[in-house]
Amino acid sequence: MTDVKTPVGEAAEAPVSKPGKPIAWPLGIAGVALLVVGSFLSWSYNSQILNDLSINFYPGGLQLLAIFGAVLSLVLLLAEKGPLVKLGSWLDATLGLRMLGTGLAVYMVLIVIAITTQAGGLINVNPGGYVSLVGALLLAASAWMLPLRQLRDMSEARLPGWAEILAIAVLMGSILYAAAYALGLQDAWSFILCLLFIAVVATALFRTGALSWIGHVAQRRKRVLTLAAFVVAFLFPFTQNGSDANMSIANQVLIFSATAMGLNIVVGLAGLLDLGYIAFLGAGSYTAAVLSQSAFATVNWKPPFLLVVLLGACVSMVLGLIIGTPTLRVSGDYLAIVTLGFGEIFRFTMGNLDGNNGPNLTNGPNGVPGIPDLKIGNFNFGDSHIVAGIDLGRFSNYYFLLLVLIGFVILVFARLNNSRIGRGWVAIREDEKAAEAMGVNVFGLKLLAFAVGAFLAGLAGTIKAHQDAAVSPDQYQFIESAFLLAAIVLGGMGTIAGVLLGATILKLLPEKLRFFSEYRLLMFGLLLVLMMRFRPEGLVASRRRQLEFHEEDEELAVAVEEEHLIVEEAK
């Protein structure tokens, strides 16, 4: 049943579209109570599994998550009927409860299965686990018996400025805590269950409309959101207790994100399908490697790193111009095949420049190992530092440098996207013939997209070479280009937050799900299939992109038109 939103100014108590069962609300309260009580009791007889859930009145991590879910459910129940009923006129508490209750039930069922399989039998599930399971099932049943209500438009919801800024701060702090907690989980089952819980809560908040309100707040306070995001990113190393493993993963995510953002210009804005983009990252890495202080470097010139960064980016840009000039007159599948071939040619070329098949420039298949850590002035990135009593190791140093890089890349992307050049790229993506007929320099803008995208990838590659301490041809295979393209499709083409989210998911999950071994690619494929079926516009898509896939949504069309008018008035 779809929700009908009431005009602004009508009564907060909107009429109920369909009456619910009287028992629904008290049943939900009982479910919340049982879920909380059970979470304070022991869930497992075996203390060696799921990070120890065997202690009474001392909840473990997964039990604390269940308690948080119960508290959130209680808030939604009180918004449905209770002291928070005014909030319920804005939030779709029923849909949120349905998602949250069902998700918590699945969460508890999987916990029982995990204890059973890891501990060797259902007998190892202690009473607390069953109490929480019953509570989650009662909550889910209650949610599906509650009525749906007519709601106000969340875009009209306003709070004082300090409250909206506080909401952004709480959201970003929650993201920081969730990321730190999830990365700290070493147990496979615990990590999967944590991801499931985060996905359930995020989906429930989306169903209620709370995330929609956050989106409107973010539009009104973009600078606050941007500052909060970078503060959270800056504080992340201080939550890892000096863990090099987690910081190494974080660095790979940032490198992958910066590279994907460059590809987002080519694919997301200009609509050019590039399947060999990883070659530009490799060009930057090899440039930094052969100009480094490594004993295996083949070039005797050792310029300062800041100059190396520019040289690596320019080499990648030149490659982009070389491949783009003769090939950008074709498009679609033909361009995809050409760029795929370019990516493979680059990899084989780097493997053949070994002094036998060509000049000795890259040491062939052996690559360039032993690349020393960066040293800018007196600061050595290989040294550990203690800040506020927290040990920040080698990977933390590179993390802060990569944070500066990703900030620069985002700035370049945002400026280009909001410029006349960006509008030209979007016009080419939508209809190249129509754009050319309207006077857009199609070939020039397509070539510029290739050059700028390659330049940004080259920047990331120069830092990647020093962080990895080695480069070799097998690091730049076609599968890496495929993953970069998948990050853009998964996150949302042409957006910043979407690409960052997609890159994080596709780089983080394979690292943390190594226990699935060869099944990781199967899971990746299933994820993309589900995304294309249920949300083809991506996880975080622009409204215009959403409208392309949901043309029948009149409300979305009106919102897009209003957004366009606001932008035009601002200009």
- 260, 499 in Cβ contact below 8 A? yes
Which 3 state secondary structure label does DSSP give 202? helix
pLDDT at 387 over 70: yes
Q: Comparing 142 with 566, which gets the higher pLDDT?
A: 142
Largest CA-CA distance found in the chain, in angstroms, rounded: 83
Taking each helix axis from N to C end, the angle separating 188-208 and 93-119, rounded to the nearest 10 degrees, works out to 170
Confidence at residue 542, expressed as pLDDT on a 0 to 100 scale: 67
- Mean predicted lDDT score pLDDT of the chain: 84
Q: 239 exposed, middle or buried (CB, 10 Å; 0-12, 13-18, 19+)?
A: middle
Q: Report DSSP letters for 222-252, one per residue.
A: HHHHHHHHHHHHHHGGGGTTT-HHHHHHHHH
- Taking the C-alpha atoms of residue 190 and residue 242, their distance in angstroms, rounded to an integer, is 22
For 530, other C-beta atoms within 10 Å of its C-beta total 10
- Chain segment 208-239, per-residue pLDDT in tens: 888 888 888 887 888 888 888 889 999 999 88
Confidence at residue 546, expressed as pLDDT on a 0 to 100 scale: 60
Distances (CA, A) of 526 to 189, 416, 522: 20, 34, 6
Q: Report DSSP letters for 300-339, one per residue.
A: -----HHHHHHHHHHHHHHHHHHHHHHHTTS-THHHHHHH
Element of type H or E holding 65: helix 61-80
Confidence at residue 553, expressed as pLDDT on a 0 to 100 scale: 53
Which 3 state secondary structure label does DSSP give 6? strand
Confidence at residue 155, expressed as pLDDT on a 0 to 100 scale: 67
pLDDT at 555 over 60: no
**pTM for the whole structure:** 0.83
Task: Give the model's confidence band at 557: pLDDT under 50 very low, under 70 low, under 90 confident, else very high.
Answer: low
Q: 161 exposed, middle or buried (CB, 10 Å; 0-12, 13-18, 19+)?
A: exposed
Mean pLDDT confidence for 486-491: 87
Structure tokens at 115: 């204890």
Mean pLDDT confidence for 506-524: 73
- Chain segment 176-206, per-residue pLDDT in tens: 888 888 888 888 888 889 989 999 999 999 8
pLDDT at 269 over 50: yes
pLDDT at 522 over 90: no
The domain locations on the chain are 20-236, 243-369+393-540, 542-571
**b (16+ CB within 10 A) / e for 171-206:** bbeebbebbbebbbbebebbbbbbbbbbebbebbbb
- Chain segment 431-484, per-residue pLDDT in tens: 888 888 888 888 999 999 999 999 999 999 999 999 999 999 999 998 888 889
Is the domain covering 243-369+393-540 a CATH 1.10.3470 domain?
yes
- 97, 80 in Cβ contact below 8 A? yes
Q: 93 exposed, middle or buried (CB, 10 Å; 0-12, 13-18, 19+)?
A: buried
